Structure 1
């Protein structure tokens, strides 16, 4: 008799699947089982539900994305948007809206999603093919698509990318509503994909990865082995295409842009388009967990080490190079032209969650938290409907930023980032807790309640804190009956004198203050294992755990290999990286110096930027006295959390500050704002 049991999806949803030989040893706690009560994440999730989702759907309507499906259903018309992957903006918004329905029931939203699903289903061809850029007019498909199905999948068509997002949306909608309307569309398409690609079928490595992750989600639902087999096949196909030139240094010509230059099991460096890369690494983690493939696991372990030690910005952003939205060479992390696509930060969250589930090490959650609080949140305005596609590391008024956005936009022709944010935000509660048998992990901190089972008995945990503004955390642990298990509370790297799990960045001064932990008011000795305080005891109802993280403002220095950051410091408090905006500093930010001896006063400003802790200090500021004279003057300086910049209009912004004046260069600047120095 076939065994059936429940396992946890990465975002926390529970799903029915046939028994697996292996899987993630650690399972995330269902995001619907975590009820937020905090003042940081809960308002953002409510804004996402009430503003961002509706704005996203409206823009899908207004830009013709919905019309593309209507024309595909009619098999008549002309594809009316720019990119063949525009279908995914509807899929991603449905995914995010489905997650949000689980948190905030909404009959009107649910009914609207149903109408969209009807249009999607009508656009699907009889054999399961779903790709409006071809179906509308097969004789004249999108120029990126080729005349035949899948013809340009490796490079441009995004047919499998569209399928991947369809699968992710279908899984989310099924778990949130119990309805199979979109799931049936996805399964029909997946059956076609599996019938088309394989060892004795068509050989193709997807040009833009995510179908691998999507197939795994459908595999967990439908228990069809071919879904997992095809996901693994797509991974193993990489590095075998003969039309690439392995001798070329051009990533488009040698395949590295698509992570297709060498087989995945031989890769040890984060390369190419950063979003594609992290979607691939996430899919590799899924397949490695489900198949026990050690070679795949070893590959992503090596790639992760390369990224964290050589290719990640201090704020958790990745994908430094604008040309190709890609990872650069080792230590290629320029500030003036930093790209840092919002989607790349989101993909980095996905990947690091999976790495934690594989290894149970807090260093992965440290990177996840860094990316989430800084590089991800920077991508969405406080109004919930303005966005950054790329996220700058500095903005100077006397320099043109050819690769940067200086102000937020409501939409983009390539609108992948806004819709990606729609689907990530409501899933955040699913990253807070995880479990492996009688080991219960607390990864992220936000006032909330949750309940899960240990030894087949319910245990509730209530978090009480004011994170990320305050480091005092409290957990009320209440098993239904007294029970012994391990509570593993993450001690963030920033509270253990580590910026990230590498020597890429370090704090200017070592802080040996060990976080204090109390149980029922009594301070205890504890050990830290893989970044977690291991608390083992027989827990009683109402046991109170207090954790005091030293929430100090710290200066960060970069390794000498980052030449552009030499002699400079960045500022961090808790998980938040700070920046200076001209709005708070007499219109300028690029003229501020922060000596190594700088100290800061943290003050919460309730009426600023929806409520933020600002950092205040007095520092040397370079000023032009007259046309022939400059000087440094000690002046008040205010820093704000990086995620909150550019919510008050355009202006200068800096993250890295010189510690001292080393040189002065005389330039002239055109009167036009943003012109390049001569």
Structure 2
């Protein structure tokens, strides 16, 4: 408790002297929410016990730690592949720091301290910290250029490394109260602010995140230069004159880096999906803290483009393997879908900030879709196997060169595994939020929370079996006397017949029952405001709110302009998007048809994939017999599992989108198909 109070007091001091403007809605500190549920709590424990130790071990084994040791000695040769490999240590420290607040661990705490010493020793006297140059300045990494910062726009990642350092320092200080990593970060940030800005060096960072990191340092220290430099980096985009504005090549035009035009003139998500998500999150931060309405309008417009044209049904972002980037509007192919795990993580950061700006449930709807589907799909149930990209279909007859049909323990570019270590333990911080006299319930996670409302301490005990069951219970108890406030429960879009907050995906039919809300056992009518059911009353000890969300199996259709999904359906139940996998469907899923009149059943399978609800139906399946001369359909049992859980039982076929009927038979051979798709 001492550490938490320390941080709160620092934030309060910052607010008093500097932060006149900020997000209208305030997040509830993740340390104020203690999880008790059976879905997320085991994942947080696995992250602490398996994922974080495995990530640190791999940082040791691959030479990432050694790079810092050699930088301190100014001797040796950079021994990993990418100049941003330093960030894998920063990200894992960040995740481990969050995790320490949830699961105190002296051994882990001591190990982090030892790594911070190595980071400190690798830092140059003026604050510069970049092992790919410091080890041997005469022969730096080929991406780095002969001098500091000269290739920052193209790919040195010097500022990207700095951004992840700042994020880690914020988390470490937040969790432990120690200033060891924070002091390193502040020294580096002071250097960055002295180098870049009006009348100094001008550049739009090649890989964004330094902007978000600077904002976090500003929140700790209140130093205006940090916020000003974050804003400067955002406003530098579109100023570089060396791009070819007529080129369709995203690298030559600058769209790959979101650098083709000023951000206030950008109207759609573009370029590398992870960089984009970090940029848009930073734009929201700076818009909130400065009141810049042009930035706010821009990020609103860009978000609407993303959710209307460029998001996969399971929340994945970045359709195009070449450049890990967004495609054109409605360009969402299944065979070559990329969906980098880091892009879903960036999407969570961005959408949460959009909620804090506007207090609208549609942003949490998108965040929930990403979180429960396209994000945790990147992490194996064992806690130490990963997807970098997240496929939408896998066929045995064809495997695109960018497709990952099975999980890996590590990657040469291992940004996604270490990014997961920092996102997973932060999830309790997304459950609740507050604005004035309003308490928002954003995620349905069994937990105990303690909030301050009107100078009164209020405990909320949330009980449920979400996402498998839609029966939610909230026991509300003010610590002192009864207290009046508005209790706003998010009614998910999927519970209101809305697949996503746009026309990109829609549910078939319109027979979803309305959610039911009871207070102390009595049904109540409620007003809806921006996707929230508002329950206004004076709350007393042991008040009980029950919310019943409909959990029918829903079929999803895509906008007709999404060519790959024409004539097909996907399945969703509650927040979970489903897929068919080989292990449950006679070894194949690419031959399955889900007709318009299919009837679905559900069953809880505690022994399967750490416990999941499966969907089943009797459907036609296409079979080839008679030595390849006869094509026929037969009825068989079809079983669907949550998309996030696929590829935990070996390698084989997987499908998300299924045809409703056979319209044609393509007699291409697998080799012909591969050549066509590769083109």
Q: What TM-score comes out, normalization by structure 2 length?
A: 0.97
Per the alignment, in what secondary structure is the counterpart of residue 226 of structure 2? helix
Query: In 2, are the aligned partners of 1:395 and 1:401 still within 8 Å (CA)?
Result: no
Check the 8 A contact 1:398/1:676 in 2, yes or no: no
User: Is residue 14 of structure 2 the alignment partner of residue 17 of structure 1?
Assistant: yes
Q: For 1:413, what is the secondary structure of its paired residue?
A: coil
1:329-408 alignment runs, 5 A limit = 329-408=328-407
> Does 2:578 align with 1:578?
yes
Q: Pairwise mapping of residues 588-603 of structure 1 onto structure 2 (< 5 A)?
A: 588-603=588-603
1:666 paired residue number: 667
Q: 1:14 to 1:199 in 2, by over 3 A?
A: closer
User: In the aligned structure 2, how far is the partner of 1:124 from the partner of 1:564?
Assistant: 50
Aligned equivalents of 1:468 and 1:8: distance in 2? 33
Conserved 8 A contact 1:85-1:158: yes
Q: Distance in 2 between matches of 1:16 and 1:275?
A: 33
Q: Is the 8 A contact 1:670 1:677 kept in 2?
A: no
For 1:348 and 1:668, locate their aligned partners in 2 and report how far apart those are by CA, in whole Å: 38
- 1:105 equivalent to 2:99? Answer no
Q: Which residue of 1 aligns with 2:180?
A: 181
Give the match for residue 226 of structure 1: 225
The 3-state SS of whatever aligns with 1:227 is helix
- Pairing of 1:524-543 with structure 2 (within 5 A): 524-543=524-543
Alpha-carbon distance change, 408 to 674 in structure 1, aligned in 2, over 3 angstroms: farther
Equivalent-residue separation in structure 1 for 2:178 and 2:511 (angstroms): 53
Q: Distance in 2 between matches of 1:369 and 1:670?
A: 39
Cα distance 1:406–1:664, how it changes in 2: closer, same or farther (>3 A)?
same
**Residue number in structure 2 paired with 1:57:** 56
- Find the aligned partners of 2:670 and 2:416 in 1 and give their Cα distance: 34
Q: 1:507-586 counterparts in 2 under 5 A?
A: 507-586=507-586
Q: Deviations over 1:300-359 (max 9, x none)?
A: 000000000000000000100000000000000000000000000000000000000000
Q: Structure 1 residues 675 and 561, CA, compared in 2 at 3 Å: closer, same or farther?
A: closer
Q: How far apart, CA to CA, are the structure 1 residues paired with 2:520 and 2:221?
A: 46
Deviation of the 1:669 alpha carbon: 4.6
Residue aligning to 2:623: 623
Please give the per-residue CA displacement for 1:363-382, whole angstroms capped at 9, x wherever unaligned: 00000000000000100000
**Is residue 7–residue 174 contact of structure 2 (8 Å, CA) maintained in 1?**
no
How far apart are residue 285 of structure 1 and its match? 0.4
CA distance change for structure 1 residues 551 and 128 in 2, over 3 Å: closer, same or farther? Answer: same
SS at match of 2:14: strand
What secondary structure, in the 3-state scheme, does the structure 2 residue paired with 1:57 have? Answer: helix
SS at match of 2:475: strand
The 10-residue stretch of structure 1 (126-135 or 396-405) with the greater mean CA deviation from structure 2: 396-405
Q: Tell me which moved more, 619-628 or 132-141.
A: 619-628
Q: How does 1:433-452 map to 2 (within 5 A)?
A: 433-452=432-451
Q: Report the equivalent of 1:420.
A: 419
Residue deviations 1:272-315 (CA, integer Å, cap 9, x gap) = 00000000000010000000000000000000000000000000
- What secondary structure sits across from 1:639 in the alignment? strand
SS at match of 2:364: helix
Task: Say whether 1:115 aligns with 2:114.
Answer: yes
Q: Which residue of 2 aligns with 1:605?
A: 605
Structure 1 residues 644 and 15: alpha-carbon distance in aligned structure 2, compared to 1, 3 A threshold: farther
Structure 1 residue 174: Cα displacement: 0.3
Counterpart position of 2:633: 632
How far did residue 18 of structure 1 move? Answer: 3.9
Distance 2:519 2:225 in 1: 49
Are 1:298 and 2:320 an aligned pair? no
Residue 401 of structure 1 and its aligned partner are, at CA, apart by 1.7
- Distance, in Å, in 2 between the alignment partners of 1:378 and 1:69 is 32
For residues 132-211 of structure 1, the aligned pairs below 5 Å read: 132-211=131-210
Superposition CA RMSD, Å = 1.8
Q: Give the match's secondary structure for 1:17.
A: helix
SS in 2 for 1:137: coil
Counterpart-to-counterpart distance in 1, 2:675 and 2:260: 39
Aligned ranges for residues 424-503 of structure 1 at < 5 Å?
424-480=423-479, 481-503=481-503
CA contact (8 A) 1:398 1:675 kept: no
Q: Deviations over 1:179-199 (max 9, x none)?
A: 000000000000000000001
| Residue-by-residue CA offset, 1:385-434 (whole Å, 9 max, x unaligned) | 00000000000011122221010000000000000000000000000000
Distance 1:667 1:264, change over 3 A: closer
Partners of 2:676 and 2:224 lie apart in 1 by 57
Count of matched residue positions in the alignment of Structure 1 and Structure 2:
671
Residues 445-494 of structure 1: CA distance to partner in whole angstroms, max 9, x if unpaired? Answer: 01100001000110010101000000000000111221110000000000
Deviation at 1:657, TM superposition (A): 0.2
Match of 2:409 in 1: 410
**CA positional deviation for 1:668:** 3.7
Deviation at 1:625, TM superposition (A): 2.5
Give the distance between the partners of 1:13 and 1:131, measured in 2 at CA. 29
With normalisation by structure 1, the TM-score equals 0.97
Cα offset, 1:676, TM superposition: 8.9
Shift of 1:74: 0.3
Q: In the alignment, is the contact (CA less than 8 A) between 2:508 and 2:554 conserved in 1?
A: yes
Query: How far is 1:624 from its partner?
Result: 1.4
Q: Distance in 2 between matches of 1:395 and 1:414?
A: 23
Q: Which ranges of structure 2 fall in alignment gaps of 5 or more residues?
A: none
Distance 1:512 1:583, change over 3 A: closer
User: What corresponds to 1:3 in structure 2?
Assistant: none
Q: Any conservation in 2 of the 1:622–1:631 contact (CA below 8 Å)?
A: yes
Structure 2: how far apart are the matches of 1:645 and 1:548? 29
Q: CA deviation at 1:245?
A: 1.1
Hey, which bits of structure 1, 4+ residues long, moved more than 3 A?
A: 6-9, 12-16, 667-671, 673-678
Report the alpha carbon displacement of residue 7 of structure 1 after superposing the two structures with TM.
12
Equivalent pair of 1:668/1:677 in contact (CA under 8 Å):
no
The CA deviation string for residues 562-597 of structure 1, in whole angstroms up to 9 with x for no partner, is 111111000000000000001100100000000111
